[in-house]
């Protein structure tokens, strides 16, 4: 009996193997590495339609940027991933580590449609921006008035503020803007970190996850917090008068970029995929689902959608982003100073 | 039970191989990072660096303090609750024990988020304090050591109660009446009779609570945030943000050592009392 089961199992496996082999041999495979967000929507809007166009198979690897970066570094000699989307600063880190290659923008038919800020964010030709976001202050307009980033530290406001921890994506940009407000904007962010440190007892919390802020705002635990525009939508539904600040120092933000892995065997396919993702049609659909703010300036959005995103030429031009090299060279120092002044 | 040792060892071999392959070897590889010198060879410089940093010292002492406080508080509350439960009728006992276990079936994330609502400025604790005239303005409880203490205590208290219930149930039924008849007061009954007879339960419960408090991540992250770092939240920061696996491996090693030390210490305390008794 056992022999019969074994034999039939073996036969079944052989048959499955035989059925799969020819198909796999013919199919081209593109492996991409992306953030683990909104994968159902990406599948529907980007991945599935692209697979139909290219007649290829798309393998999607997800994870946070540290995990994905570590994986790319481990497979440097024999890269698995062909194309990765990462933050601007991580793209520079990857470029310094020799993990990515120049992007041949002549093969990107949609390249000309991008906002200037997204064309070559690090100025090294190694990446193309596919989405960016503004970072400013969400605040209770009935309780406070915000004209400057420094207003958050006013004695009457500080005990109602959640400030992003330096380890979050919003942390350094918020400190950078506070530095501008204090007229002490050195790359080491020393002055703004000290200013926040002086108020650490009053500030409600140094948040790690922006999802926590909605609840804190709802419970009136906080009145204001620096946030990325991509988390803005839930605040507008709380039933409180919550405004998006336009401080006199301006807004900051961040950008995510596409990169091609050095040594990828599917470079052309990767570029074809990037071009598809940057197309007006795909960028419009992603924006309409409130997933990514478009970096393609031909994307036209309704006011309701645009209000929830970082949208338009003016906004794109006004963003004061921390240069990637500054972020990379100072990140460890920022955390050290922060831990000394705020962490204890 | 077995004819020879070899037979018993052979039966244990598959489980041992599995545990070694999927647990022991990866842990040793991970921890060895903390002892490797960048230049090659072995060093403890990562540990001296860690402990020479004042933030790390603060975080280490805070973790130790909160772990100890939660363990002590859960032992005190746990004994009272376990006594009450074992004295119930069998039917009621099962139901109440079920209620004690119930929170363990709810995700720690949900349980911890509930504390944000309860301990907030407009939460019921502050409302009650203000209504009773204890405070005028709402207290800042969230994002403090107090909040972490409350969260951890609620998270791990059931483990202590369950351990103590089983220990109390195994205690001879006439031990307490006998001590009382012989003239002991309640404190003496507890200290000289109950504690020695239930020490195994206390050691198990204490180790679970202490180890759990040291290694909990969600509760300190949500209720303390980066304002009140604990070793676990610091470990996360080192891995996910600073990409510093050496520092993370140092913290992991410290946590493991602290857990073992707590277990050994609790066992020592229990045996020391035993020896005292037998000598007396």
Residues A113, A23 within the same domain:
yes
Sole residue written with tokens 């040793």: B28
- The structure tokens listed for A138 are 């969400």
pLDDT at B271: 74
Residues of A in contact with B113 (CB under 8 A): 215
- The structure tokens listed for B49 are 């660096």
The CA-CA-CA angle for residues A26, A31, A37, to 5°, reads 135
Distance from CA of A299 to the nearest CA of B (A): 34
pLDDT surpassing 70 at residue B2: no
Q: Which of residues 183-212 of B touch A (CB under 8 A)?
A: none
Closest residue in chain B to residue A342, using alpha carbons only = B227
Residues A249, A260 within the same domain:
no
Whether residue A99 lies inside any domain: the answer is yes
Sole residue written with tokens 């705020």: A342
Residues A224, A292 within the same domain:
no
Number of neighbours of residue B258 by Cβ within 10 angstroms? 19
Residues A246, A263 within the same domain:
no
Q: Do A343 and B54 touch (CB under 8 A)?
A: no
Per-residue pLDDT of chain A (344 residues; tens, 9 = 90+): 444 444 444 444 444 444 444 444 457 899 999 988 889 999 999 999 999 999 999 999 998 777 888 889 899 999 999 999 999 999 999 999 999 999 999 999 999 999 999 999 999 999 999 999 999 999 999 999 999 999 999 999 999 999 998 888 899 999 999 999 999 989 999 999 999 999 998 999 998 878 889 989 998 999 999 999 988 988 988 999 999 999 999 999 999 999 999 999 999 999 999 999 999 999 999 999 989 999 999 999 999 899 889 999 888 888 999 999 999 999 889 988 998 888 76
Tell me if the domain spanning B53-279 has CATH number 1.10.3720.10.
Answer: yes
Q: Tell me: ipTM over 0.90.
A: no
CA-wise closest residue to A126 among A325, A305, A280: A325
Residues of B in contact with A70 (CB under 8 A): 243
Enter the DSSP assignment of B171: S
Q: Which of B113, B140, B225 sits opposite A208 (nearest CB)?
A: B225
Whether residue A14 lies inside any domain: the answer is yes
pLDDT at B273: 59
Among residues of chain B, what percentage have pLDDT more than 70?
96
Residues A15, A121 within the same domain:
yes
Enter the DSSP assignment of B122: T
Q: Total structural domains in chain A?
A: 2
Torsion from C-alpha of A198, A202, A208, A209, nearest 10 degrees? -150
Q: CB–CB of A228/A130 below 8 Å?
A: no
In angstroms, the CA A324 to CA A20 distance is 45
Q: Three-state SS string across chain A, please? A: CHHHHHHHHHHHHHHHHHHHHHHHHHCCEEEEEECCCCHHHHHHHHHHHHHHHHCCEEEEEECCHHHHHHHHHHCCCCCCCCEEEEEHHHHHHHHHCCCEECCCHHHCCCHHHECHHHHCCCCCCCCEEEEEEEEEEEEECCCCCCCCHHHHHCHHHHCCEEEECCCCCCHHHHHHHHHHHCCCCCCCCHHHHHHHHHCCCCCCEEECCCHHHHHHHHCCCCCEEEEEHHHCHHHHCCCCCEEECCCCCCCEEEEEEEEEECCCCCHHHHHHHHHHHHCHHHHHHHHHCCCCCCCECCCCCCHHHHHCCCCCHHHHHHCCCCCHHHHHHHHHHHHHHHHHHCCC
Domain that holds residue A31: 2-131+255-311
Q: Do A69 and B242 touch (CB under 8 A)?
A: no
Sole residue written with tokens 């590495």: A33
pLDDT digits (tens, 9 = 90+) for B32-46: 888 988 888 899 999
Q: CB–CB of A146/A135 below 8 Å?
A: no
Chain B contact for A218 (CB, 8 A cutoff): no
Chain B contact for A80 (CB, 8 A cutoff): no
Chain A contact for B120 (CB, 8 A cutoff): yes
Residues A125, A219 within the same domain:
no
pLDDT surpassing 70 at residue B7: yes
pLDDT at A25: 43
Distances (CA, A) of B88 to B2, B78, B85: 41, 16, 5
Distance from CA of A273 to the nearest CA of B (A): 29
Q: Which of A70, A205, A215 sits opposite B225 (nearest CB)?
A: A205
Size of interface A-B (CB pairs under 8 A): 67
Q: Do A212 and B229 touch (CB under 8 A)?
A: no
Mean pLDDT to the nearest integer, B113-139: 90
Number of neighbours of residue B145 by Cβ within 10 angstroms? 17
Q: Do A207 and B229 touch (CB under 8 A)?
A: no
pLDDT at A19: 44
Chain A contact for B138 (CB, 8 A cutoff): no
pTM: 0.77
Bridge-based pairing of strands A242-244 and A57-62 is unpaired
pLDDT surpassing 70 at residue B124: yes
Distance from CA of B265 to the nearest CA of A (A): 29
Distance from CA of B219 to the nearest CA of A (A): 13
Whether residue A294 lies inside any domain: the answer is yes
Distance from CA of B12 to the nearest CA of A (A): 27
- The structure tokens listed for A127 are 């990446």
Residues A189, A272 within the same domain:
no
Whether residue A232 lies inside any domain: the answer is yes
Q: CB–CB of A175/A164 below 8 Å?
A: no
Q: Do B116 and A219 touch (CB under 8 A)?
A: yes
Chain A contact for B116 (CB, 8 A cutoff): yes
Residues A20, A126 within the same domain:
yes
Altogether, the residues listed in chain B come to a count of 280
Q: Which of B58, B222, B241 sits opposite A167 (nearest CB)?
A: B241
pLDDT digits (tens, 9 = 90+) for B230-260: 999 889 888 877 778 889 999 999 999 998 9
Residues A237, A260 within the same domain:
no
Q: Which of residues 139-158 of B touch A (CB under 8 A)?
A: 140, 142-143
Closest residue in chain A to residue B240, using alpha carbons only = A66
In angstroms, the CA A156 to CA A215 distance is 22
Distance from CA of A223 to the nearest CA of B (A): 12
| C-alpha torsion sign, points A119, A121, A126, A130 | negative
Distance from CA of B273 to the nearest CA of A (A): 39
Q: CB–CB of A118/A293 below 8 Å?
A: no
Q: Which of A66, A206, A331 sits opposite B227 (nearest CB)?
A: A206
Q: CB–CB of B167/B126 below 8 Å?
A: no
CA-wise closest residue to A40 among A242, A286, A224, A216: A286
Residues A238, A262 within the same domain:
no
- The structure tokens listed for A74 are 């481990």
Residues of A in contact with B237 (CB under 8 A): 167, 335
Q: Do A219 and B121 touch (CB under 8 A)?
A: yes
Residues A216, A142 within the same domain:
yes
Q: Which of A165, A204, A216 sits opposite B226 (nearest CB)?
A: A165
In angstroms, the CA A184 to CA B218 distance is 36
Residues of B in contact with A207 (CB under 8 A): 225
pLDDT at B12: 92
Distances (CA, A) of B100 to B75, B81, B118, B212, B221: 15, 10, 20, 17, 25
- Which CATH number goes with the domain that contains A196? 3.40.190.10
Residue A301 — left, alpha, or beta (φ > 0 → left; ψ -120 to 50 → alpha)?
beta
């Amino acid at each position: 009996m056992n022999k019969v089961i074994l034999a039939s199992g073996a036969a079944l496996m052989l048959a499955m193997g035989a059925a799969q082999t020819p198909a796999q041999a013919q199919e081209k495979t593109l492996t991409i590495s992306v953030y683990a967000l909104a994968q159902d929507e990406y599948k529907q809007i980007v991945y599935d339609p692209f697979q139909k166009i290219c007649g290829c198979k798309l393998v999607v690897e997800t994870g946070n940027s540290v995990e994905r970066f570590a994986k790319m570094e481990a497979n440097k000699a024999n890269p698995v991933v062909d194309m990765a989307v990462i933050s601007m600063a991580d793209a520079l880190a990857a470029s310094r580590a020799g993990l990515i290659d120049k992007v041949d923008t002549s093969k990107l038919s949609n390249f000309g449609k991008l906002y200037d800020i997204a064309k070559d964010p690090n100025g090294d030709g190694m990446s193309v921006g596919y989405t960016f976001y503004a970072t400013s202050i969400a605040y209770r307009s009935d309780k406070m008035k915000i004209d400057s980033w420094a207003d958050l530290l006013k004695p009457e406001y500080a005990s109602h503020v959640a400030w992003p921890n330096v380890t979050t994506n919003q942390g350094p940009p918020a400190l950078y803007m506070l530095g501008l407000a204090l007229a002490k904007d050195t790359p080491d962010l020393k002055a703004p970190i000290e200013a926040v440190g002086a108020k650490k007892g009053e500030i409600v919390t140094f948040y790690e996850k922006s999802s926590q802020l909605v609840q804190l705002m709802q419970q009136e635990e906080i009145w204001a917090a620096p946030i990325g525009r991509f988390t803005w939508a839930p605040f507008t539904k709380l039933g409180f008068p919550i405004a998006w600040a336009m401080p006199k120092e301006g807004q900051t933000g961040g950008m995510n970029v596409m990169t091609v892995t050095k040594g990828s065997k599917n470079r052309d396919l990767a570029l074809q995929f990037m071009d598809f993702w940057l197309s007006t049609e795909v960028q419009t659909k992603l924006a309409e689902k409130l997933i990514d703010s478009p970096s393609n300036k031909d994307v036209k959005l309704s006011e309701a959608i645009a209000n929830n995103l970082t949208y338009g030429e003016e906004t794109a031009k006004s963003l004061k982003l921390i240069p990637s090299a500054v972020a990379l060279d100072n990140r460890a120092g920022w955390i050290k100073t922060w831990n000394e002044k705020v962490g204890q | 039970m077995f004819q020879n040792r070899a037979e018993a060892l052979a039966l244990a071999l598959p489980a041992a191989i599995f545990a070694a392959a999927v647990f022991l070897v990866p842990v040793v590889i991970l921890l060895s990072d903390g002892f490797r010198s960048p230049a090659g060879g072995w060093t403890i410089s990562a540990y001296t660096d860690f402990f020479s940093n004042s933030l790390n010292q603060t975080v280490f002492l805070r973790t130790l303090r909160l772990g100890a406080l939660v363990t002590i508080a859960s032992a005190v509350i746990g004994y009272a609750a376990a006594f009450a439960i074992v004295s119930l009728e069998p039917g009621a006992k099962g139901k109440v024990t079920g209620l004690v276990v119930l929170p363990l079936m709810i995700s720690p994330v949900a349980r911890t988020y509930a504390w944000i609502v309860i301990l907030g400025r407009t939460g019921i604790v502050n409302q009650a304090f203000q209504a009773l005239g204890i405070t005028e303005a709402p207290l800042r409880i969230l994002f403090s050591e107090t909040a972490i203490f409350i969260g951890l205590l609620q998270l791990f208290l059931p483990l202590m109660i369950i351990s103590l219930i089983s220990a109390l149930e195994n205690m001879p039924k006439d031990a307490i009446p006998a001590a009382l008849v012989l003239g002991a007061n309640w404190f003496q009954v507890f200290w000289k009779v109950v504690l020695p007879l239930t020490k195994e339960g206390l050691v198990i419960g204490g180790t679970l609570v202490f180890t759990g408090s040291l290694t909990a991540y969600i509760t300190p992250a949500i209720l303390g945030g980066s304002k009140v770092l604990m070793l676990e939240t610091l470990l996360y920061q080192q891995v996910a943000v600073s990409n510093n696996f050496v520092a993370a491996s140092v913290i992991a090693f410290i946590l493991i050592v602290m857990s073992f030390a707590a277990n050994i210490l609790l066992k020592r305390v229990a045996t020391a009392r035993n020896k005292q008794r037998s000598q007396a």
